[in-house]
Amino acid sequence: MVKICCIGAGYVGGPTMAMIAYKCPDVQVVVVDISASRINAWNSDHLPIFEPGLDDVVKSCRNKNLFFSTDVEAHIADSEIIFVSVNTPTKTRGLGAGKAADLTYWESAARMIADVAKTDKIVVEKSTVPVKTAEAIEKILTHNSKGVNFQILSNPEFLAEGTAMDDLAKPDRVLIGGRETPQGQKAVAALKAVYAKWIPENQIITMNLWSAELSKLAANAFLAQRISSINAMSALCEATGADVTEVAYAVGKDTRIGSRFLNASVGFGGSCFQKDILNLVYICECNGLPEVANYWRQVVQINDYQKARFVNRVVASMFNTVSGKKIAVLGFAFKKDTGDTRETPAIDVCLGLLGDKAQLSIYDPQVTEDQIGRDLATNKFDWDHPAHLVPTDPTAKKSVTKASNAYEAAKGAHGVCIMTEWDEFKTLDYQKIYDGMEKPAFFYDGRNVINVEALRKIGFIVYSVGKPL
Ligand code: NAD
Ligand code: UGA
């Protein structure tokens, strides 16, 4: 039985390994992590992440050919293939702070592999890393080894949260990059054989290591760029009376452009788009390409502009002050069908409103009050560096409450802001919400989920991203 170990039991390591175990009953998969609480949760009835379809897959394989363990060393030692799926956040200090990827966790995983390996290993980069990381990892592994052969592969992950299980079951493509040596190609073939158990061979693309590493950063940059492009258009739509949904529809009908990923919003969030683009910007700068760096930096700048624009709209429309006013925030996760709040645009919007002394009542079906409190008290980029949690404003907590449903959040509020496109927000009883609010009742839809005309008919003053005012 082939044995696979994955270092990092997070949003990628957990679901990815669960799918491999599910599709390959003849492979033994162990997911290891230094966080005992995370591993305990993976072994419990309450998995540490919410992802549709994940529970069933985990339950069907757990303790058969899928295991979760904190015994990192033992499982590295007796596995043939080791995936490394640790976090690779943005550096907060020193050279490249605010842009470069922090490879501390990756390096410590590589050193651990070098220390405990006694037999040949295939080490797979699953985390998103800067191009040429494999070269650095190779140095760490080969300088510490005792005659053990290591092959490094790049196998970036393209799953999106909320649809992770479908993405893993039917990916658009699987990418494997390896050295062009016979040993490198043998390692590529071994990993390809695992995926080939459920993915058609023509969708498993093999290429050189650097192309595979860079393709991941490029894919995220292209996706985020589409959102910033349509969001930039949304500002122009609001200024001219055009409707961004109609513009996106017309543009997307061109098959060269395509219709997906053109939803205007309050801004993109999630743990990766911003971090990966900033990392790309840094790599371009380091390679003497400032024009290319500036091109991609704009994608993040437009995203920041979009979030700031949303806050300004709320404050300006409420007679230039939200001081002491209750505002309901519906949705806090960075997108629907996940409880993940990393880099959610709701954080910047809430902090902006709190900066103007608003009283916030937040409702999200998957995000806990503790998580919201932590997010609003953590400095930018620090969320993935637990050692440096520094409250930005210890008084902020007093102005924030968590509501148990949308109606409670909106009761007595002057305004409602939709931050996440949860399906349940499409079918709320908006008459009931309106009746419970202060008047005039303002509504700001940061996700274009509500029917603007229907809400205006009820009496709301409605602002929806990129829609005629
Ligand atoms: P995560 O923070 O959810 O999980 C990372 C895990 O690694 C944590 O549980 C942490 O405790 C563990 N870890 C860190 N150092 C370790 C060590 N030395 N030994 C053992 N465990 C260690 O992160 P994630 O969202 O799963 O992302 C992981 C990587 O995958 C990142 O590079 C990210 O850019 C990339 N990625 C993420 C997504 C996504 O949707 N979240 C999608 C594609 C790619
Ligand atoms: C994204 C990519 O889609 C994945 O392919 C990639 O693997 C992953 O990043 C990663 O590397 O971490 P994810 O961040 O989970 O996945 O979710 P997306 O669906 O891409 O959404 C990202 C953000 O963009 C969300 O805040 C979403 O609401 C926003 N978005 C998305 C828009 O504002 N408009 C759109 O049209 C699409």
**Best of 5, 12, 127, 223 to mutate for ligand 1, by most ligand atoms within 8 A of CB?**
12
Residue-wise pLDDT for 213-263, tens only, equals 999 999 999 999 999 999 999 999 999 999 999 999 999 999 999 999 999
Residue 386 has pLDDT above 60, yes or no: no
Residue 387 has pLDDT above 50, yes or no: no
Q: Identity (one letter) of the amino acid at 134? A: A
**Best of 223, 230, 234, 259 to mutate for ligand 2, by most ligand atoms within 8 A of CB?**
223
Q: Would you state the torsion angle of the CA atoms of residues 304, 310, 316, 317, taken in this order, to the nearest 10 degrees?
A: 170
Residue 48 has pLDDT above 50, yes or no: yes
Residue 300 has pLDDT above 50, yes or no: yes
CATH hierarchy code of domain 2-199: 3.40.50.720
User: Strand 174-178 and strand 204-208: pairing?
Assistant: parallel
User: CA 106 → CA 11, 83, 134, distances in Å?
Assistant: 16, 11, 11
Ligand 1 within 6 A of CB of 22: no
Q: Would you state the torsion angle of the CA atoms of residues 315, 351, 341, 386, taken in this order, to the nearest 10 degrees?
A: 170
User: Which residue reads 């309106």 in tokens?
Assistant: 434
Name the residue among 23, 25, 26, 30 with its Cα closest to residue 7. Answer: 30
Helical ranges in 145-204 per DSSP H: 164-169, 182-195
Residue-wise pLDDT for 255-283, tens only, equals 999 999 999 999 999 999 999 999 999 99
CA 33 to ligand 2 center in whole angstroms: 25
Look at ligand 2, atom 11, and give the residue with the nearest C-alpha: 272
Residue-wise pLDDT for 77-104, tens only, equals 999 999 999 999 999 999 999 999 999 9
User: Strand 81-84 and strand 2-7: pairing?
Assistant: parallel
User: Strand 204-208 and strand 415-418: pairing?
Assistant: unpaired
Residue-wise pLDDT for 346-384, tens only, equals 999 999 999 999 999 999 999 999 999 999 988 766 666
| Proximal ligand: closest to the CA of 262 | 2
Residue 390 has pLDDT above 50, yes or no: no
Residue 18 has pLDDT above 80, yes or no: yes
Whether this prediction's pTM lies above 0.80 is answered by: yes
**91 burial type by CB count under 10 A (0-12 exposed, 13-18 middle, 19+ buried):** buried
CATH of 219-464, one of 3.90.230.10, 2.40.240.20, 3.40.50.720, 3.40.640.10: 3.40.50.720
ipTM of the complex: 0.98
Look at ligand 1, atom 34, and give the residue with the nearest C-alpha: 128
CA 221 to ligand 1 center in whole angstroms: 19
Two tokens, residue 318: 């409420």
In the chain, which segments carry CATH 3.40.50.720? 2-199, 219-464
Atom of ligand 1 nearest to the CA of 272: 34
Per DSSP, 322 falls in state -
Name the residue among 451, 469, 161, 445 with its Cα closest to residue 330. Answer: 445
